[in-house]
Amino acid sequence: MLGDWSKHCDTNPFSVCASIIPDCELAGYKWATIIDRNSILYWHGDFYVVQSLNARITPSVWLDIYRSRQWLTFNDFLVWQQSCCLVAPLQSCSCPVGMKQYSCKHSVGLAILFNLYQVSDKTRIKPLGKRKTKGRPKKVSKALNL
């Protein structure tokens, strides 16, 4: 048993980045198409400050508050926390999903924007924002017109 384990470790090294599920890839691809590139602020190393869609403060103000770590009330902290995310592409994110699963739409979407991750063809052909209805379309023309 120990021999099998050591052979398995030689052929499968430790994973450096989290695995990306297709749903997360699709959500990241959608997010990358709607995010404003000018709202992404470089911070340190691999980390970027990304503004959320319902942000109340700008990324530069968010970063100043992050450095000082001074909030007057808990509600101020909640506004700060929900305004931006601290993201490292394909590594981590400070959003609730990213804290739990390591890969979220922000980290995958940022990697797509910076060409660090290639979107699969299956994900590209899915219509963005449209739901497929059940069954056949209502008005279908005849297949053979003679």
Q: If you average pLDDT over residues 35-41, what whole number do you get? A: 86
Residue 106 lies in a domain: yes
Q: For 116, phi and psi rounded to 5 degrees?
A: -95, -15
Q: Which residue has the tokens 């450096």?
A: 16
Residue 59 lies in a domain: yes
Residue 95's pLDDT is: 86
Residue 46 lies in a domain: yes
Residue 129 lies in a domain: no
Position 2 confidence tier, pLDDT thresholds 50, 70, 90: low
Residue 125's pLDDT is: 75
Helix H or strand E segment including 81: helix 74-83
pLDDT in tens, 70-129: 889 999 998 998 899 899 888 888 888 888 887 888 899 999 999 888 888 777 777 666
This prediction's pTM = 0.69
Residue 51 lies in a domain: yes
| Residue 90 token pair | 């394909």
Position 145 confidence tier, pLDDT thresholds 50, 70, 90: low
Residue 145 lies in a domain: no
Position 14 confidence tier, pLDDT thresholds 50, 70, 90: low
Q: Which residue has the tokens 């100043």?
A: 64
Mean pLDDT of the chain: 80
Long-range contacts of 35-41 (CB under 8 A, 24+ apart): 35/109, 35/113, 37/113, 40/110, 40/113
Residue 19 lies in a domain: no
Number of domains making up the chain: 1
Residue 49 lies in a domain: yes
139 by Cβ neighbours in 10 Å (0-12 / 13-18 / 19+) ranks as: exposed
Cα 58 from chain centroid?
19
Range of the domain at 70: 24-115
Bridge partner list, 32? none
User: Cα(48)–Cα(98) distance, rounded to whole angstroms?
Assistant: 14
Residue 10's pLDDT is: 65
